[in-house]
Chains A and B, each alone.
Chain A
């Protein structure tokens, strides 16, 4: 394992984190989707690099899935939904973007410090990967928490899953199960979300989660 390989892995994983920050920064729906696609691309590159380094050909499949589904199909589909449902083109934030960014920086600091501390015994590749992956996961969660409308929450969730995949790929020799599960979950998540969005379209006039919240139980 040479220095260059490590650096590239580092670069890619760090890039993923950077893109996560970009996503938090976006305030337009379409640009968010574009950045998300880019996120997936970086992820697939990173996974592919891991596959190359670990000599684990099955990881290429993961990379491909990430590239095809997350970078192309899902953003496209979401784009269609936004267009069809005539959703607000702005991303509505709960708190200001500056605050969110600050929180995001804090979170990634936390996760990197924590991860580096706990993974003394793991190899350097894994340490870096896990640290960045945790940051991406937390940022994804942060995004879900600070966004108001459903599409951007879905995007947040997807970026969270991207972090997972990064982690799974970084864990050396993790069996095939992970890839299957990732593919599986992506697929099912997509289907289910699609179904839901469809139904929600059928019943509600917007995918804005707040509208649904009016029907929360126990208030009748």
Chain B
């Protein structure tokens, strides 16, 4: 049995688990059974993917007599698929493990169980599909199932709105993809990926396809300005679903982009790449700024997903720029950075969403301003979330830094590009990415500092208890992965290289030979980084310092009330709130970039009502793009709606006028 058959079988089994859930819904172990099966299957995905990256089973295909009748349903397993299988397998597996524990708290499990495994299966189908129809079918089924999952808590108005916006954007994306595939397939309907691959296209045609792919895959991944659904839908879903959507599904969207733009379309003209780079960089900054301003824990995480997607798109754009100029080594570096970051983001974003889910479970709150002090009540969760926050803030020696480092190395290769425009633009985009990275650190200090540190701001947070072992195990797994990958990035780079090789026909130097797991993307004189040693050095010097201080100086400790510059121990609400923490950045960047407004209502002297500070900050994209569209549709449909209330005579007049019009037309014509 070839790899593709085996993977298909597992995907089919996952899809079939959905209906199974309906039949076994009365059994007490139904949820555990479903999630446990999902763990097993995802584990198999990961294994198959890893085996594929090691070279086993690559290139196997299968055609089933399904889908479009004259070409059937084509499936193919190659290195790119294998890599994303690993993402899906590890992410899906860890999240399913988490769900074993988390799912017990679900009030209406039947709104999750039938869709959850099928969602995983649909994502696998997207990865395997090798013709346009199968691809889009799986893609849209994936959207549909995640939509159903988002609607788990459908009683809430916000959830319904979120789900609506989500599926509408998904529909928009699918239509864009459909148009892109229409162009790729040509007039004769050559929908197979194999047939699309060899065709040469004019640069304009390729650019149109690229734009459509940016719209289609970008809307699913969360590229600005198509990201609006993401901060709505991800928080609304149950947390393991949020984790799956943010950590894994957005990666599947990126897979779609990579598959079409890098694999099917081939090298594009150099002038196509700046748009991608710039979009990516702008998305990154916008996303993280919004994350900085957001009060809702899960929504802030969702915004941070947008940031990371932006980073990845910037890396992909760099790859396109290098590739268009035939700089294979540089392209390989940028592409490796993109794939590496995809992997990393899967790990830490899933971890963070699980953490948010644990917090939600323990306190029932998503509002940062109700949390605080969780590090005392939920020590393990807090520690694991800290690892995730460090990783996502790109702090060495964790994994987030490794991929950002690679990306910056790629940015630094820009002088070799012949086009002056790109030469100037890439470092500028690099600056934006650096800004995003710095803001990410600020945003996660805020999230962690307000949410987990300090004193509890509500009773719910005060009485929080640590979550169950399954959840902790799942988070621990991913946290360990973050550390491990950060410390040993060379192994990951080598594992990715078959993918890079397959897409770009070039790769980074083999990292396995370098001493002490150092990574050297180009040459040692140019740049190198060793996560292991950094970690060892930091750990050693920290321990050394601690040991020395404790050994030779004092080790006495006394607990006392907080000093706070002499103020008495005030109420927990005097702590910095999430809004307060964001205030400096809101004033500095938010006013101009996001249109943030602060209004202060000061009561007159003698009036004892409290002073109020209201902050208005939101996604500028809503007001600039989506609200006008919605308003237009509303106005036009209201105007049109008069046609429903005409008299019969007027309807007849319409018929009559149409007839006259056509007759006149005919008369003029002949």
Q: Shortest Cβ distance from B642 into chain A, in angstroms?
A: 11
Assembly CA distance A218 to B666 (angstroms):
37
Main SS of the interface on chain B? helix
B652 within 8 A of A: yes
B666 CB to nearest A CB, Å:
7
Chain B residues in 8 Å Cβ range of A117: 667, 670
- Those of B152-194 within 8 Å (CB) of chain A: none
Nearest residue (CB) in B for A134 is B663
A50 within 8 A of B: no
What 0/1 pattern do residues 111 to 148 of A give for CB contact below 8 A with B? 10110011000000000000000000010011011011
CB of A110 within 8 A of CB of B670, answer no
Provided the pairs A141-B652, A145-B656 are in contact, do residues A216 and B670 lie with their beta carbons within 8 angstroms?
no
Distance, CA A110 to CA B662, complexed state (A):
12
* A-B residue pairs in contact (CB < 8 Å), sample of 26: A94-B649, A110-B664, A110-B667, A114-B666, A114-B667, A117-B670, A118-B666, A118-B670, A138-B660, A141-B652, A141-B655, A141-B656, A142-B656, A144-B649, A145-B649, A145-B652, A145-B656, A147-B649, A148-B649, A153-B649, A209-B648, A209-B649, A213-B647, A216-B644, A216-B645, A219-B645
By a CB distance below 8 angstroms, the chain A residues around B655 are 141
Does chain A have a CB within 8 A of B659?
A: yes
- Interchain nearest-CB distance for A185 vs B (Å): 18
| A210 and B663 contacting across the interface, CB-CB below 8 Å | no
Within 8 A of A (CB), among B638-652: 644-645, 647-649, 652
Given the complex of chains A and B, what is the CA–CA distance between A209 and B650 in angstroms?
A: 11
Does B527 reach chain A (CB closer than 8 Å)?
A: no
Number of interface residues of B (CB under 8 A): 16
Tier of interface size on chain A = 20 to 34
Tell me, yes or no, whether B635 is within 8 Å of chain A by CB: no
Q: Report the minimal beta-carbon distance from B358 to chain A, rounded to whole angstroms.
A: 49
Cross-chain contact A110 with B666 (CB below 8 angstroms): no
CB distance from B551 to the nearest CB of A (A): 85
A107 located at the interface, meaning its Cβ lies under 8 Å from any Cβ of chain B in the complex: yes
A114-B663, A141-B656, A209-B649 provided; 19 other pairs, C-beta below 8 A?
A110-B660, A110-B663, A110-B667, A114-B666, A117-B670, A138-B659, A138-B660, A141-B652, A141-B659, A144-B656, A148-B649, A153-B649, A210-B647, A213-B647, A213-B648, A216-B644, A218-B644, A218-B645, A219-B645
Contacts of B667 in A (CB 8 A): 110, 113-114, 117
Residue of B nearest to A216 (CB): B645
| CA of A131 to CA of B462, assembled, Å | 91
State the Cβ distance, A43 to closest chain B Cβ, in Å: 22
Q: In chain A between 186 and 213, which residues have their CB closer than 8 angstroms to a CB of chain B?
A: 209-210, 213
A39, B667: Cα distance in complex, Å: 28
Least CB distance from A111 to B in Å reads 7
User: Is the CB of B653 closer than 8 A to any CB of chain A?
Assistant: yes
Bound complex: CA of A218 vs CA of B667, how far in Å?
A: 40
Chain A neighbourhood of B664, CB < 8 A: 110
Q: Which residues of A contact B649 (CB under 8 A)?
A: 94, 144-145, 147-148, 153, 209
Q: Which residues on B sit within 8 Å (CB–CB) of A114?
A: 663, 666-667
B660 to chain A minimum Cβ distance, whole angstroms, is 7
CA distance A117 to B655 in the complex (A): 24
Distance between B656 CB and nearest chain A CB, rounded to angstroms: 5
Which A residue sits closest to B670, measured CB to CB?
A117
Distance A180 CA – B649 CA, assembled complex (angstroms): 29
Check A145/B653 contact, CB under 8 A, given A107-B660, A110-B660, A111-B663.
yes
Q: Which residues of B contact A113 (CB under 8 A)?
A: 667
Q: Complex Cα distance A138/B663, Å?
A: 11
Question: Which residue of B has the minimal Cβ distance to A137?
Answer: B659
Who on chain B is nearest to A147 by CB?
A: B649
Residues on A with C-beta less than 8 A from B666 are 114, 118
Q: How far is the CB of B365 from chain A (nearest CB, A)?
A: 43
CB distance from B626 to the nearest CB of A (A): 28
* CB of B657, distance to nearest CB on chain A (Å): 9
Residues of B within 8 A of A145 (CB): 649, 652-653, 656
Expressed in whole angstroms, the Cα–Cα distance for A209 and B651 within the complex equals 12
Which chain A residues lie closer than 8 Å to B644 at the CB level? 216, 218
Bound CA–CA A176/B660 (angstroms): 30
Complexed CA–CA distance, A114 and B667 (Å): 6
* Set of chain B residues within 8 Å of A148, measured between Cβ atoms: 649
Most buried by A among B655, B660, B666: B660
Residues of B within 8 A of A144 (CB): 649, 652, 656
Which residues of B (601-660) have their CB < 8 Å from a CB of A? 644-645, 647-649, 652-653, 655-656, 659-660
In the docked arrangement, what's the CA distance between A141 and B649, Å?
10
A107: B residues at CB distance < 8 A: 660
Within 8 A of B (CB), among A94-120: 94, 107, 110-111, 113-114, 117-118
State the CA gap A153–B649 with chains docked (Å).
9
**How far does the Cβ of B311 sit from chain A's closest Cβ, in whole Å?**
50
Give the chain A neighbours of B647 by CB distance below 8 A: 209-210, 213
Rounded to whole Å, the gap between the CB of B42 and the closest CB of chain A is 50
- Cα A93 to Cα B640 with chains together (Å): 26
Question: How many Å from the CB of A199 to the closest CB on chain B?
Answer: 16
Chain A residues, Cβ within 8 Å of B645: 216, 218-219
A117 to B666, CA, bound (A): 10
**B56 CB to nearest chain A CB (Å):** 62
Q: Which of A141-173 contact B (CB under 8 A)?
A: 141-142, 144-145, 147-148, 153
**Smallest CB–CB gap between A206 and chain B, Å?**
14
Top 10 A-B residue pairs of the complex, sorted by shortest distance between their CB atoms? A145-B653, A213-B647, A114-B667, A145-B656, A141-B656, A145-B652, A144-B652, A209-B648, A216-B645, A218-B644
Instruction: Find the B residue at minimum CB distance from A150.
Output: B648
Q: Name B645's closest neighbour in chain A (CB-CB).
A: A216
Chain B: minimal CB distance from A197 (Å): 15
Residue of B nearest to A218 (CB): B644
Q: Across the interface, name the chain B residue whose C-beta is closest to A107.
A: B660
Quote the shortest CB–CB distance from B160 to chain A (angstroms): 24
A209 to B652, CA, bound (A): 13
Contacts of A216 in B (CB 8 A): 644-645
In this complex, what residue of B is CB-closest to A212?
Answer: B648
CB nearest neighbor in B for A219? B645
Point out the residues of chain B lying under 8 angstroms from A94, CB to CB.
649
The distance in angstroms between the C-alpha atoms of A117 and B652, with both chains bound, is: 27
Instruction: For residue B493, give the distance in angstroms from its CB to the closest CB of chain A.
Output: 63
Report the separation of the CA atoms of residues A147 and B659 in the bound assembly, to the nearest whole angstrom. Answer: 18
Residue of chain B at shortest CB distance from A103: B660
A207, chain B: closest CB distance, angstroms:
12
A6-20 interface (Cβ within 8 A of B): none
Q: Which residue on A lies nearest to B641, using beta carbons?
A: A218
Measured between beta carbons, the chain B residues less than 8 angstroms from A142 are 656
Whole-angstrom distance between the Cβ of B352 and the nearest chain A Cβ = 48
Contacts of A138 in B (CB 8 A): 659-660
Q: How far is the CB of B658 from chain A (nearest CB, A)?
A: 11
Report the separation of the CA atoms of residues A117 and B668 in the bound assembly, to the nearest whole angstrom.
11
A148→B667 CA distance, assembly (Å): 31
Cα–Cα distance between A218 and B645 once the two chains are bound (Å): 8
In the complex formed, the residue of B with least CB distance to A142 is B656
Min CB distance B646 to A, Å, is 8
Within the complex, the shortest CB–CB distance from A91 to chain B, in Å, comes to 13
Q: How far is the CA of A142 from the CA of B655 in the complex (A)?
A: 11
Looking at the assembled complex, report how far the CB atom of B650 sits from the nearest CB atom of chain A, in whole angstroms: 8
Which residues of the other chain, B, contact A213 by a CB distance below 8 angstroms? 647-648
Chain A residues with CB under 8 A of B648: 209, 213
Give residues 198-230 of B contacting A (CB, 8 Å).
none
Which of A111, A144, A218 has the most chain B CB atoms closer than 10 A to its own CB?
A144
Residue in A closest to B664 when the chains form the complex, CB atoms: A110
B653 nearest in chain A by CB position: A145
- The CA of A219 and the CA of B648, in the complex, are separated in Å by 16
User: Per-position contact with B for A27-71: 1 when CB-CB < 8 Å, else 0?
Assistant: 000000000000000000000000000000000000000000000
**Chain B's nearest CB lies how many Å from the CB of A204?**
14
